[in-house]
Amino acid sequence: MSHIALLFPGQGSQVVGMGKEFWNEFDVAKQLFEEASEAISCNLKKLCFEGSMNDLTLTMNAQPALLTVSVIAFQVYMQEIGVKPIYMAGHSLGEYSALVCAGVLPFRDAIKLVRQRGIIMNNADPHQQGTMVAMSHIKLEALQKICEEISTKERPACVACMNADQQFVISGHRQTIQEMINRTESLGTKHSYLNVSGPYHSPMMNMAGKRFKVELDQTKYSQAKYPVISNVTATPYHPDHSVVDYLNMQMTMPVRWLESMHYLIEQGVTEVIELGSKNVLVSLMNKITKRIVPYSLNQPSDLLILTNTHERKNKLLTIRKNMLSNLMVTALISRNYNQDSISYAKRVEPLFLKLQRLKEQVDNNGYELSEEDLNHSIQLCHSILSAKQIPNGTTLIDVI
pLDDT tens-digit readout, 31-89: 999 999 999 999 999 999 999 999 999 999 999 999 999 999 999 999 999 999 999 99
How far is the C-alpha of 114 from the C-alpha of 122, rounded, in Å? 12
How far is the C-alpha of 74 from the C-alpha of 107, rounded, in Å? 12
Q: Which residues contact 151 (CB under 8 A, 6 or more apart)?
A: 157, 158, 172, 176
How far is the C-alpha of 396 from the C-alpha of 267, rounded, in Å? 13
Q: What is the pLDDT of residue 239?
A: 87
Strands 130-136 and 4-8: unpaired
Q: What is the pLDDT of residue 99?
A: 98
Strands 157-164 and 167-173: antiparallel
How far is the C-alpha of 200 from the C-alpha of 207, rounded, in Å? 12
Q: Which residue, among 184, 182, 142, 183, has the nearest Cα to 165 in the 3D structure?
A: 142
For 300, list phi and psi in degrees, rounded to 5.
-55, -30
The count of C-alpha atoms lying within 13 angstroms of the C-alpha of 62, restricted to the half-sphere facing its C-beta, is 25
Burial of 25 (0-12, 13-18, 19+ CB in 10 A): middle
Q: Low-confidence residues of the chain, pLDDT below 70?
A: 1-2, 362, 365-368, 392-400
Contact 254, 159 (CB under 8 A): yes
How far is the C-alpha of 320 from the C-alpha of 367, rounded, in Å? 10
Q: What is the pLDDT of residue 398?
A: 42
**Residue-by-residue DSSP string for 136-184:** ESS-HHHHHHHHHHH--SSS-EEEEEEEETTEEEEEEEHHHHHHHHHHH
The verdict on whether 334 is a catalytic residue reads no
How far is the C-alpha of 237 from the C-alpha of 231, rounded, in Å? 10
- Enter the pTM of the model: 0.88
Q: Give, for 294, the enclosing helix (H) or strand (E).
A: strand 293-297
Q: What is the pLDDT of residue 360?
A: 75
How far is the C-alpha of 255 from the C-alpha of 159, rounded, in Å? 9
Q: Helix (H, G, I), strand (E, B), or coil: what is residue 5?
A: strand
Contact 67, 100 (CB under 8 A): yes
How far is the C-alpha of 222 from the C-alpha of 231, rounded, in Å? 19
How far is the C-alpha of 292 from the C-alpha of 269, rounded, in Å? 7
Q: Pick the catalytic residue: 13, 37, 70, 92?
A: 92
Q: Helix (H, G, I), strand (E, B), or coil: what is residue 66?
A: helix
Instruction: State pLDDT tens for residues 376-397.
Output: 888 888 888 888 887 754 544 4
Q: What is the pLDDT of residue 326?
A: 82
Q: Pick the catalytic residue: 37, 197, 201, 230?
A: 201
Q: Which residue, among 3, 13, 30, 17, has the nearest Cα to 66 in the 3D structure?
A: 13
CA dihedral 321, 326, 328, 333 (to 10 degrees): 180
Q: What is the pLDDT of residue 2?
A: 63
Local structure of residue 281 (DSSP, 8 states): H
Q: What is the pLDDT of residue 336?
A: 85
Q: Measured over all CA atoms, what is the biggest interatomic distance in the chain, rounded to whole angstroms?
A: 73
Q: What angle do CA 25, 15, 162 make, to 5 degrees?
A: 120
Burial of 268 (0-12, 13-18, 19+ CB in 10 A): exposed
Q: What is the pLDDT of residue 368?
A: 65
Amino acid letter at 372?
A: E
Q: What is the pLDDT of residue 240?
A: 84
The verdict on whether 92 is a catalytic residue reads yes
